[in-house]
Copies of this chain bind each other. A is one copy, B any other.
Amino acid sequence: MEKPLIFITNDDGFQAKGLEALIEVAMEFGRIVVVAPEVAQSGMSHAITISSPLYLRKVKDEPGLEVYACSGTPVDCVKMAFDSIMQERPVLALSGINHGSNSAVSVIYSGTMGAASECSFYNIPAIGFSLLNPGDDADFTVAKEYASRIIDKVLNTDDITIPMCLNVNIPDLPKEDIKGVRLCRQNKGYWREEFERRTEPRGREYYWLTGIFLNQEETATDTDEHALNNGYVSIVPMQVDMTDYNQLDQMHGWEF
């Protein structure tokens, strides 16, 4: 029997080490189609390319593994894959493994999770993986093991409601220091920036964005931040209904 098709993308670009790690894991479970950005697209959120055209090239074609590089954003990659490239519906979509955390409110800035949630719109389970190490040369050995376990679980359970999108973050710890896997909710909090102002050799000023996370619920024990800070792999199921239902209730009766 032919192995099932699995789709993979990321936001660090088609040459990233984390993508390579995820491909290795996923090839245990199926045939792979990758559509990933030409260049790193960290922080691209759910962005799409409207005002310029997209370019696509096939960079690898081996038995069980096709890799395409796309000039657009991570979400563009997903759209091209599902609406143009793949003639067969995959059973699972994966994004990552991201070089760096996507816990708490970072999920809304994340290209990795923007792409994962876009995949879930095609009514297959989608999982985004992130390792809490932003380095280009991060060690994905432990992350791969947890990715494999979670993929195995999702592929082999009947207990799934579609759409499903899981945001998985993995501590950057030795295997023996990881305490397990926790299902969590998204931690509340925001990023504040300290813009670093510099001057070009020719005199023009420019700024680098450098953020600090303000945790708004330090004491909560059911959040992804808490799990990660205590040595657990965190899994937050996510969805895209942004409606603030509490506010909607409170505004009931407003007149304009």
Interface of A toward B, CB cutoff 8 Å: 40, 42-51, 53-56, 73, 75-76, 79-80, 83-84, 105, 107-109, 111, 114, 117, 121, 146, 149-150, 153, 157, 159, 161, 164-165, 167, 180-181, 183, 185-186, 188, 190-195, 198, 204-209, 233, 235-248, 250-252, 254-256
Contact = CB atoms under 8 A, between A and B. Distances in A.
Given A84-B195, A243-B236, A254-B153, A109 B46 contact: yes
A50 B134 CA distance: 12
Given A43-B50, A45-B47, A107 B207 contact: no
Nearest to A51: B40
B208 A246 contact: no
A98 B17 CA distance: 39
Contacts of A46: 45-46, 108-109
B247 A161 contact: yes
20 contacts: A42-B51, A45-B75, A50-B209, A53-B198, A54-B206, A54-B208, A54-B209, A55-B205, A79-B193, A79-B195, A83-B192, A149-B256, A153-B256, A183-B252, A233-B256, A237-B248, A237-B251, A238-B243, A239-B244, A239-B247
B237 A185 contact: no
Count identical subunits in the complex.
2
Given A193-B84, A195-B83, A183 B244 contact: no
Contact of A242 (B44, B54, B186, B256): B186
Chain A at the B interface: SS class: mixed
Given A105-B240, A242-B239, A254-B153, A47 B47 contact: yes
B83 A243 contact: no
Nearest to A200: B53
B206 A53 contact: yes
A36 B204 CA distance: 19
A109 B241 contact: no
A186 B243 contact: yes
